[in-house]
Each structure stands twice: as C-alpha cells, then as structure tokens.
Amino acid sequence: MLLKENMKVLFQGDSVTDCDRSRGDDSYLGYGYPAFVAEKLKDMKLTFINRAVSGERVSDVFNRKEKDIFEVKPDLFSILIGVNDTWRRYDENNPRSAEEFEAIYRGLLEEIKQRLPGVPIIIMAPFILEVPDKKAWIEEDLRFKQEAVRRLAKDYADAYIPLDEIFKAEFDRHEDIYHLSPDGVHPNETGHRLIAEKWIEAATK
C-alpha cells in the first residue's frame, strides 16, 4: 500500500487535474478527481495538494518543478500529463515529437527519484476519447506518447494507471459518446469519479 496516514500527496498535471483549484489556498483542490480522492480518503489524515496548471505540457511542469514539486516536499507524487503535448499540434501548429516528450518527462522523473528518494510515484496515462473531431489525434500523435508513458512507468512508477485503456473501455460500453466528457479531453463528473476510483485502487492495494 503506497498511502500511509499523515502523508502529503501532490497532484501534478494539466487541466484534467487543475479543475479550477485555488492558487492561494492549497486546501481547495478544485472540482475534479483530486477532490473526490480527498473526500473518499478523509479518514486517513492525509494532506492533499493540487499544483496542476491548465493548458500545460510536460515541459511546463518541468520548468516549474522547484516551486511546485520540490518546495512542496510531497510524501507521494502523482502525475497526469501529455494531452496538451498532442493538442498543441492541432490548435497551434506546435507539435512535439514522442521522443522529445519522453526525454523531458524522463528528466523530470529522474530528478524526482534523485531529490525525493523513497517517495512513491503514481503515473497516469494521458487519454483522448474517440469523439468525432478528435479520433485522428489518437492514432496520429497521442498513441506514441502513451507508449512513452508506459515505458516511463516501468522505469519510475510505483503504480501505473492506464487511463487510456480504462476510459476507452468505459467509452465503448455506452451509446452516449459524451458519457465521460463533453469534448473527449476534459472529464465530466462521471469521468472524474472514475479517475478517483482507479487512483484510490492503485494507491491502496
């Protein structure tokens, strides 16, 4: 079991984790899965901190690592990043290769292992659902970054959560393609509760 009482848990990532979390009060985790995790585990006397930032790519997390990772000094580190490393190819014509993505991500994880020895790491796979306007994004770009995340998880993660597989399986079970997300990227409450459920399973098994 990765979690122990009185641990400080840090969530990092992009908008899927940010969810309007407070910039001035770490006790407000936003409306997404970090808040649902905290509610479910409230009896464990854990401190949860959400420092995710909407719109960010892995390089952005790397660039703010001092303030938003190492100064926090977490006892457990959780990260979900990668969808914007794909999205920027399509909305800003600013692509990032899977090789560059993996190299930056690996550098971040390597530094965490060195500077926060013994701190468990939970890595979650980025995902995009196969809604009509984004199906091609998966095959053209995201799947290569998902493969990179799986490699990184083997090398660095104490727990890996394949959200791409989990969301696809749940997506395929429903006739409503927007059951989990209004746009295929940002989860709705159902989607966030699913992430929270899988996160708790991974952290407490």
Q: What is the pLDDT of residues 104-134, one digit of tens each?
A: 999 999 999 999 999 999 999 999 999 999 9
**Cβ–Cβ under 8 Å, residues 118 and 75:** no
Query: pTM of the prediction?
Result: 0.97
HSE of 49 in the Cβ direction (CA atoms, 13 Å)?
21
In a domain, 146, yes or no: yes
Q: Are 50 and 114 in contact (CB under 8 A)?
A: no
Q: What is the pLDDT of residue 10?
A: 98
Residue 3 belongs to a domain: no
Residue 131 structural domain = 8-204
- What is residue 114's predicted lDDT score, i.e. its pLDDT? 98
Position 2 in a domain = no
Task: Provide the percentage of residues in the chain whose pLDDT is more than 90.
Answer: 99
Cα(51)–Cα(67) distance, integer angstroms:
10
Q: Is residue 195 part of a domain?
A: yes
CATH number of 19's domain: 3.40.50.1110
Residue 120 lies in a domain: yes
The answer to whether residue 159 sits within a structural domain is yes
Query: Does position 154 have pLDDT exceeding 90, yes or no?
Result: yes
Residues 42-72 pLDDT 10s: 999 999 999 999 999 999 999 999 999 999 9
Q: What pLDDT score was predicted for residue 113?
A: 98
Number of domains in the chain: 1
Question: What digits encode the pLDDT tens for the residues 19-32?
Answer: 999 999 999 999 99
Distance CA 72, CA 102 (A): 24
